[in-house]
């Protein structure tokens, strides 16, 4: 049957159905189903979150000042970002301000997360969709060294170094215990890199694995630990004690110098490894420009990284906010999260129930009531679902919409918004990257574009970290040691009923929490997270979500090896732990790949 969606896609579910479950190298549990035509081109796509957690429900009646610690446990990957969003929501509700130092430290922590998450995503969750590890075994280490030295002056580039890496890889393969490399589709025709590029990328996979643990020390310095650093309503929970005396764990000059050194290292890694790898690998996949989906139509960002403490206006936010709909890039709409007309969540195709008569609900009035049922056309039984029924409820992810539109969020969305607003710091690197690769502007709206935007953002974030570190030092030198305002901590001063919203740009995209406080307790708490936007199922009107849209019209070289599906879905860096935050009670049996 063929269906036209309101957001401009033609869905045809008459061809062969292919099920990928679970999708691996992501956080959480997800399943993708597609129908392919006789040429193995995707003509219908169904994306579903297969777990339920219920954090929003757990928060009811708790102290709003504790909400950050619960919401932070939504995820250990985008660690800290839910806590930051939560303290901002409570501060917004209660009119609490934070000191300048706290703003710089929060930005340093959030930007450190961006770099850590983007580096780990590219090398450890996504690169193997493009890089054939087995092919690296046949590379010439000398030629690999020459290649590396032609693209970067990174110090780890000698023939001996690559020979060593290759020997380690050979031993690993000979042991038969392939670990994370076990289920790759090695040798698939969609892998296009010469052996030397594969070996270079494998070396960087290992280097990034080592390096990522350095980045998170920034969280440990300011927040006590990682994952799940500590946060505080009204500031940050770390005193500054510059001469090293006083409180145990206080931030002193030695710690601040360590942060500066990690920032220098991550800037160098971005400049000399991550960006050159994107350019080198990208140059072999210039023809693979699928997966654009909603990016060319409707993108959304809330903005983040305030230059000035307590100023969340567009003028202060260094990451841009705005909404673009139906490909009209000349018009970037302002986003108001408090406006019930703008953001609504739909559950027509999600395993939840709304009170009678309601359709889309604004998060302040949001309801999280699980309601698992399979549609009449789902095939299989309760323990082994062979096929979901996308005409009915089919996901634990709700369907958020901006003015009724399905939106893509994430690094690419942010960079498109910045580009559309003519901001040089976003426009120039995109133009340069496209020019260097010899690609047209339209190439940005693709799986590759999404992956490249993330790398550009990692680079951008490193320089912003240097800026906020300098700002922090200057402020301390000027005599300001304050890191928290606790003047409004006395709940007797709070209004009886009040509500607030806090937002951030998490690594995967726009994130907001809405809170309603009644008699000093949480009355309602709703999180709408990046993967809820991107991984959303159909809504009441029939609009498909960003993951689903991105898979449409993609040709597959071998549907029994759904590498193309993984490439595109991984380019969003999905996190189902975040998006469902709320498993099938029966626990569905998980097949790796089923092709019928």
Q: How far is 259 from 406, CA to CA, in rounded Å?
A: 39
Q: Which residue is nearest to Mg ion (CB)?
A: 527
Interface residues toward ligand NFE, by CB under 6 A: 27, 75, 77-78, 81-82, 506-508, 511, 529-531, 575, 577-579
Q: Of 301 and 484, which has the nearer Cβ to ligand NFE?
A: 301
From the list Mg ion, ligand NFE, none, partner contacted by residue 27 (C-beta under 5 to 8 A by kind): ligand NFE
Contact present, 238 and 251 (Cβ < 8 Å): yes
Q: Of 86 and 152, which has the nearer Cβ to Mg ion?
A: 86
Contact present, 321 and 313 (Cβ < 8 Å): no
Give me the least distance between CB of 74 and ligand NFE, in Å please.
7
In three-state secondary structure terms, 141 is helix
Give me the least distance between CB of 297 and ligand NFE, in Å please.
20
Q: How far is 73 from 62, CA to CA, in rounded Å?
A: 15
Q: Of 200 and 577, which has the nearer Cβ to ligand NFE?
A: 577
Contact present, 578 and 53 (Cβ < 8 Å): no
From the list ligand NFE, Mg ion, none, partner contacted by residue 26 (C-beta under 5 to 8 A by kind): none
Question: Is residue 56 annotated as involved in ligand binding?
Answer: yes
β-pair type (509-518, 299-306) = unpaired
Alpha-helical regions (H) of 478-545: 530-534
CA 428 to chain centre: 23
Give me the least distance between CB of 356 and ligand NFE, in Å please.
31
From the list ligand NFE, Mg ion, none, partner contacted by residue 549 (C-beta under 5 to 8 A by kind): none
Query: Quick one: which of 542, 530, 527, 514 has its CA closest to 575?
Result: 530
Q: Of 366 and 418, which has the nearer Cβ to Mg ion?
A: 366
From the list ligand NFE, Mg ion, none, partner contacted by residue 506 (C-beta under 5 to 8 A by kind): ligand NFE
Q: Of 81 and 485, which has the nearer Cβ to ligand NFE?
A: 81
Q: How far is 12 from 34, CA to CA, in rounded Å?
A: 10
From the list ligand NFE, Mg ion, none, partner contacted by residue 89 (C-beta under 5 to 8 A by kind): none
All residues at 6 or more sequence positions from 351 whose CB lies less than 8 Å from its CB, including other chains: 52, 370, 371, 372, 373, 393, 394, 395, 396
Give me the least distance between CB of 530 and ligand NFE, in Å please.
3
Concatenating the DSSP letter of every residue in 25-68 gives SSBS-EEEEEEE-TT-BEEEEEEEE-----HHHHTTTS-GGGHH
Q: Of 429 and 530, which has the nearer Cβ to ligand NFE?
A: 530
Q: How far is 369 from 516, CA to CA, in rounded Å?
A: 17
Give me the least distance between CB of 444 and ligand NFE, in Å please.
21
From the list Mg ion, ligand NFE, none, partner contacted by residue 208 (C-beta under 5 to 8 A by kind): none
Give me the least distance between CB of 86 and ligand NFE, in Å please.
11
Q: Of 103 and 580, which has the nearer Cβ to ligand NFE?
A: 580
Q: Of 75 and 399, which has the nearer Cβ to ligand NFE?
A: 75
Give me the least distance between CB of 246 and ligand NFE, in Å please.
35
Interface residues toward Mg ion, by CB under 5 A: 527
Question: Is residue 78 annotated as involved in ligand binding?
Answer: yes
Question: Is residue 75 annotated as involved in ligand binding?
Answer: yes
Distances (CA, A) of 502 to 115, 223, 336, 510: 22, 20, 11, 11
Q: Of 100 and 345, which has the nearer Cβ to ligand NFE?
A: 345
Query: Exposure string (b/e) for 302-335, b if CB count within 10 Å is 16 or more?
Result: bbbbbbebbebeeeebbbbbbbbbeeeeeebeeb
Question: Is residue 578 annotated as involved in ligand binding?
Answer: yes
From the list ligand NFE, Mg ion, none, partner contacted by residue 500 (C-beta under 5 to 8 A by kind): none
From the list Mg ion, ligand NFE, none, partner contacted by residue 577 (C-beta under 5 to 8 A by kind): ligand NFE
Give me the least distance between CB of 573 and Mg ion, in Å please.
19
From the list ligand NFE, Mg ion, none, partner contacted by residue 569 (C-beta under 5 to 8 A by kind): none
In three-state secondary structure terms, 123 is helix
All residues at 6 or more sequence positions from 509 whose CB lies less than 8 Å from its CB, including other chains: 300, 301, 408, 409, 410, 411, 413, 414, 530, 531, 533, 534
Q: How far is 514 from 491, CA to CA, in rounded Å?
A: 19
Give me the least distance between CB of 497 and ligand NFE, in Å please.
27
Give me the least distance between CB of 28 and ligand NFE, in Å please.
7
Question: Exposed, middle or buried by CB within 10 Å (0-12, 13-18, 19+), for 257?
Answer: exposed
Q: Of 483 and 579, which has the nearer Cβ to ligand NFE?
A: 579
From the list ligand NFE, Mg ion, none, partner contacted by residue 77 (C-beta under 5 to 8 A by kind): ligand NFE
Contact present, 434 and 453 (Cβ < 8 Å): no
Give me the least distance between CB of 349 and ligand NFE, in Å please.
19
In three-state secondary structure terms, 365 is helix
What angle (nearest 5°) sits at the alpha carbon of residue 545, between those of residues 513 and 526? Answer: 15
Phi, psi angles (nearest 5°) of residue 123 = -75, -40
From the list Mg ion, ligand NFE, none, partner contacted by residue 578 (C-beta under 5 to 8 A by kind): ligand NFE
From the list ligand NFE, Mg ion, none, partner contacted by residue 106 (C-beta under 5 to 8 A by kind): none
Give me the least distance between CB of 81 and ligand NFE, in Å please.
5
Query: Exposure string (b/e) for 570-579, b if CB count within 10 Å is 16 or more?
Result: bbbbbbbbbb
Q: Of 81 and 524, which has the nearer Cβ to ligand NFE?
A: 81
Q: Of 77 and 549, which has the nearer Cβ to ligand NFE?
A: 77
CA 256 to chain centre: 28
Residues comprising the binding site for Fe cation?
78, 578
Residues comprising the binding site for Ni(2+)?
75, 78, 575
Residues comprising the binding site?
56, 75, 78, 575, 578, 581
Residues comprising the binding site for Mg(2+)?
56, 581
């Amino acid at each position: 049957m063929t269906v036209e969606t309101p957001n401009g896609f033609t869905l045809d579910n008459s061809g062969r159905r292919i099920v990928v479950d679970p999708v691996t190298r992501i956080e959480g549990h997800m399943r993708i189903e597609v129908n392919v035509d006789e040429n193995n081109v995707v003509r219908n796509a169904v994306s579903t979150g297969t777990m339920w957690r219920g954090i929003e429900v757990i928060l009811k009646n708790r102290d709003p000042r504790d909400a950050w610690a619960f919401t932070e446990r939504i995820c250990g990957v985008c660690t800290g970002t839910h806590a930051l969003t939560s303290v901002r929501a409570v501060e917004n509700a209660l009119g609490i301000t934070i000191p300048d130092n706290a703003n710089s430290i929060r930005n340093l922590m959030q930007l450190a997360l961006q770099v850590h998450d983007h580096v780990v995503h590219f090398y450890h969750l996504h690169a193997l969709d493009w890089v054939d590890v087995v092919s690296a075994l046949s590379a010439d280490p000398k030629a690999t060294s020459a290649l590396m030295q032609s693209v970067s002056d990174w110090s780890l580039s000698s023939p001996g170094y690559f020979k060593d890496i290759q020997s380690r890889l050979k031993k690993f393969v000979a042991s038969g215990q392939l670990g994370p490399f076990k289920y790759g589709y090695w040798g698939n025709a969609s892998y296009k890199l010469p052996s030397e590029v594969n070996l270079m990328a494998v070396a960087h996979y290992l280097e990034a694995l080592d390096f990522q643990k350095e980045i998170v020390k920034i969280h440990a310095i300011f927040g006590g630990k990682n994952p799940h650093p500590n946060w505080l309503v009204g500031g940050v929970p770390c005193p500054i004690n510059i001469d090293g005396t006083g409180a145990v764990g206080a931030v002193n000059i030695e710690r601040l110098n360590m942060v500066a050194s990690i920032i220098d290292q991550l800037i160098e890694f971005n400049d000399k490894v991550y960006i050159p790898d994107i350019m080198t690998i990208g140059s072999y996949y210039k023809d693979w420009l699928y997966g654009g989906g909603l990016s060319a139509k409707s993108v959304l960002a809330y903005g983040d990284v305030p230059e000035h403490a307590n100023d969340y206006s567009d003028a202060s936010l260094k990451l841009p906010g705005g909404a673009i709909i139906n490909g009209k890039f000349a018009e970037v709409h302002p986003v108001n999260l408090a406006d019930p007309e703008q953001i609504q969540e739909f559950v027509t195709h999600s395993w939840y129930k709304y009170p009678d008569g309601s359709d889309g609900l604004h998060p302040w009035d949001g309801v999280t009531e699980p309601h698992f049922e399979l549609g009449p056309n789902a095939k299989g039984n309760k323990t082994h679902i062979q096929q979901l029924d996308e005409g009915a409820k089919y996901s634990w992810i709700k369907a958020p919409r901006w003015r009724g539109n399905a939106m893509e969020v994430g690094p690419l969305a942010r960079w498109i918004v910045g580009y559309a607003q003519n901001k040089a710091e976003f426009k120039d690197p995109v133009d340069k990257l496209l020019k260097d690769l010899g690609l047209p502007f339209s190439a940005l709206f693709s799986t590759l574009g999404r992956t490249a935007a993330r790398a550009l953002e990692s680079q951008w974030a490193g320089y912003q970290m240097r800026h906020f570190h300098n700002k922090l030092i200057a402020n301390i030198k000027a005599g300001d040691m304050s890191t928290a305002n606790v003047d409004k901590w006395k709940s007797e001063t709070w209004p009886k009923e009040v509500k607030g919203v806090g937002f951030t740009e998490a690594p995967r995209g726009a994130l907001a929490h809405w809170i309603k406080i009644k008699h000093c307790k949480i009355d309602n708490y709703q999180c709408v997270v990046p993967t809820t936007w991107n991984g959303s199922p159909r809504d009441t009107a029939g609009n498909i979500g960003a993951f689903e849209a991105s898979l449409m019209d993609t040709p597959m070289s071998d549907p029994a090896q759904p590498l193309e599906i993984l490439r595109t879905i991984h380019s969003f860096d999905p996190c189902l732990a975040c998006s469902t935050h709320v498993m099938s009670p029966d626990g569905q049996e998980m097949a790796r790949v089923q092709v019928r």
